[in-house]
Amino acid sequence: MESISQTYARLRLAQKGRARGAPAYSVFVNRPVGRLFAAVAYRIGLTPNQVTLISALFTFTGIALLAIVPASVVLGVVVWLLLAIGYALDSADGQVARLRGGGSLAGEWLDHFVDAIKISSLHLAVLVGLSRSDDIPQTWLLVPVAFTIVANTTFFAMILNDLLKGKQGVASAHSTGGGGALRSVLLLPTDYGILMLAFVLWGWPVVFFGVYSLLLVACSAFLVLAAVTWFRQMVRLDRETVAP
How does the average pLDDT of the chain come out, rounded? 89
Select, from the ranges 19-23, 62-66, 240-244, the one with the highest average predicted confidence (pLDDT): 62-66
In angstroms, the CA 36 to CA 189 distance is 25
Domains of the chain: 4-242 (1.20.120.1760)
The b-or-e profile of 105-132 (16+ CB within 10 A means b, else e) is eebeebbeebbeebbebbbbbbbebbee
What are the pLDDT digits (tens) for 166-180?
A: 888 776 654 444 456
Confidence (pLDDT) at 59? 98
Residue spans of alpha helices (H) in the chain: 4-13, 24-25, 31-43, 48-68, 73-99, 105-131, 142-167, 181-186, 192-198, 205-242
Confidence (pLDDT) at 179? 53
Residue of 10 and 201 predicted with greater confidence: 201
Question: Percent of the chain having pLDDT more than 70?
Answer: 88
What are the pLDDT digits (tens) for 130-160?
A: 999 999 999 999 999 999 999 999 999 999 9
Residue 70 has pLDDT above 70, yes or no: yes
In angstroms, the CA 65 to CA 74 distance is 11
Question: pLDDT band for position 102 (50/70/90)?
Answer: confident
- CA nearest neighbour of 125 among 82, 76, 63: 63
What are the pLDDT digits (tens) for 47-58?
A: 999 999 999 999
What are the pLDDT digits (tens) for 58-69?
A: 999 999 999 999
Compute how many other C-beta atoms are within 10 angstroms of the C-beta atom of residue 102: 9
